[in-house]
Chains A and B, each alone.
Chain A
Amino acid sequence: MADMVKKATREGYGAALLELGEKNPKVIVMDADLAGATKTGVFKKAYPDRFFNAGIAEGNLMGVAAGLSLTGNIVFASSFAMFAAGRAFEQIRNSIGYPHLNVKVCATHAGISVGEDGASHQCNEDIALMRVIPGMTIINPTDWVEAKAATLAAADFEGPVYMRFGRLAVPQIFDEETYKFELGKGKELYSGDDVAIIATGLMVNEALIAAEELKAEGVNARVINIHTIKPLDEEIILNAAKECGCIVTAEEHSIIGGLGAAVSEFLAENLPTPVKRVGVNDVYGRSGPAVEMLKIYGLDAAHIKDAVKEVILKK
């Protein structure tokens, strides 16, 4: 693991936009009065003529983004996850998803790690909402390096993409020089065959910590990073199920409808395997420091280890 640089994934998003602004004049960025927080403000400062603020009107934001894409532009439309995937769900479904337009909905402040703002702003439902839209690609990066690479890849990809970024500074896992982003591909980050921990977003780092600690206790855990939740890398999941015999999923999202659900649905139909989902357990969050919130809601290495011990007994 790299040294302990901590940066939010939204920082990687902003850095990528800046790079895209320079190399591709077709890139347009939109926001809904949150440019400072979502990091689209970085682009706004450098390319003011290609930045448009919709104001506090997320439904219109998505529609205007759709219209801009129909005139040949690559549009990145940002807000917080709650107001992008949540409030503007139907605009994303009908004005972007159904016509399959080249709009990248880039949502920041996803998950419980929003922290002090509390439940109204802690979106643990966005992956579930976006998964049910046919043809939607969903990317949930782990660290700022992956976030940057994924954003660059999304610009080259033709079609609607939902990208999910966090507010909280999280440990850098990947080396910027060597990291390669492959859309739709999971990656094994830690080898083992007693159990596979399939994780996404900031839970990948927690999974790595858990795997390290489990090893000392004599349990060999495999850790797989799934940054692309849709389309899901079925091959890496099937192999993990075959070789490890039990699975723990880990995500900063409701256990309903997210990565854990996607993995469970796939395995139930293809290779029934004991699965334990670590995530937000169908409850609202509350105000408090992000790191404490993650512990309180069971989103840390300790809870992953408990899940591993529980699921391994079902093998």
Chain B
Amino acid sequence: MNAETKAKLQKDAAKVRMSVIEGTFNAKSGHPGGSLSIADIITYLYLYKLNIDPKNPKWEDRDRFVLSKGHTAPALYGAMALKGFFPEEEIKTLRKPDSRLQGHPSMNLTPGVDMSTGSLGQGVSVAVGMALGAKINNKSFRVYTVLGDGEIEEGQVWEAAMFASAKKLDNLVVIVDNNDLQIDGTLEEVNSPYPIDEKFKAFGFNVINIDGHDFDQIDEAFTQAENCKGKPTAIIAKTIKGKGVSFMENQVGWHGKGPNEEEYNAAMAELKEAL
């Protein structure tokens, strides 16, 4: 990735983060912490990596993206709006009764959302099914899914991992947003899934550990995943919950609440500096 592309993605990621704050402020609810931690990777995927066309969201050869940690929809919506799937103005309607932007992604309401998610552990199975579908239909598209690190406490994640590996789904990339915080505390305090990389390795995955906020490392990992044949890839992305808004960083309290007006202004001012 050249310096120009990287600089653009960093700015795009700042816009996505502003969108997260805009949406959750207007909704007076939502999940800013985990949206901010995954913002760089989702920006990279939607604005750089995915082979998608916002004018033809149901194009059958497109790459697929499933946000298994569906509660971080604000980051997804921010990136999708920036890509042109719907007007950026719509972000302000997040979670409101007539909005197309549900609290958790809904594929039948939002153009470009590939799967309805929200119940943790389920999206990854669907992504696995899509990857298998690509194989049996001789399609070359790839499938990407983002899991929360708390989400991998769900047993279904490991059912899906076992199956993906057994079926040699090398067109599948599972990304774990390892921000180390879940609603009730740190992963260690709640029910530790560590070591995450060793677990995916044991399940037969090609495993790559990266800093989930470094676009060079992100790009390298996704390129390596493409070149890996015969097994699915798991990218364990070390991230910071609330990344980009100093008072939200590493604060579990920002898992599931919207900012008030004062917090909104402070967050937006800070993010604008990154533009």
Contacts and interface: CB of A to CB of B under 8 A. Distances in A.
A64 B136 CA distance: 13
Nearest to A57: B159
A60 B132 contact: no
Given A60-B156, A64-B125, A70-B126, 6 more contacts: A28-B136, A49-B136, A60-B128, A60-B160, A68-B130, A94-B119
Given A57-B163, A59-B156, A98-B116, A67 B126 contact: yes
Contact of B159 (A52, A59, A98): A59
Contacts of A60: 125, 128, 156, 159-160, 163
Contact of A67 (B60, B119, B125, B139): B125
B133 A94 contact: no
Interface string A28-63: 100000000000000000000110101101011011
Nearest to B156: A59
A79 interface: no
A52 B155 CA distance: 20
A54 B133 CA distance: 14
A242 to B, nearest CB: 39
A94 B129 contact: no
A63 B137 contact: no
A59 B123 CA distance: 11
B179 interface: no
A70 B125 contact: no
A68 B130 CA distance: 5
In order of increasing CB-CB distance, the 7 nearest A-B pairs are A67-B129, A63-B125, A71-B133, A60-B159, A57-B159, A64-B129, A67-B130
A91 B125 contact: yes
Given A54-B163, A91-B122, A67 B127 contact: yes
A242 B165 CA distance: 59
Given A63-B156, A67-B125, A91-B125, A50 B136 contact: yes
A65 interface: yes
Contacts, number: 106
Interface of A: 28, 49-50, 52, 54-55, 57, 59-60, 62-73, 90-91, 94-95, 98-100
Interface residues of B, number: 34
Contacts of B129: 63-71
Interface in B226-267: none
Tell me which of A50, A55, A72, A94 has the highest count of chain B C-beta atoms within 10 A of its own C-beta: A94
A66 B162 contact: no
Contacts of A55: 159, 162-163
B25 to A, nearest CB: 27
B116 A72 contact: no
A159 B107 CA distance: 15
Interface in B33-81: 60, 64
Contacts of B114: 70
Contacts of B121: 59
Interface of B: 60, 64, 106-108, 114-116, 118-119, 121-134, 136-137, 139, 155-156, 159-160, 162-163, 167
B118 A99 contact: no
A152 B129 CA distance: 23
Nearest to A100: B108
Contacts of A70: 64, 114-115, 126, 129-130, 133
B107 A63 contact: no
Nearest to A66: B126
A67 B162 contact: no
A71 B122 contact: no
A66 B129 CA distance: 7
Contacts of A73: 133, 136-137
A122 to B, nearest CB: 25
Contacts of B116: 94-95, 98-99
Contacts of B159: 54-55, 57, 59-60
Contact of B133 (A67, A91, A99): A67
A91 B129 CA distance: 13
B3 to A, nearest CB: 37
A49 B135 CA distance: 11
A104 B121 CA distance: 21
Contacts of A71: 60, 129-130, 133-134, 137, 139
Contacts of A72: 60, 133, 137
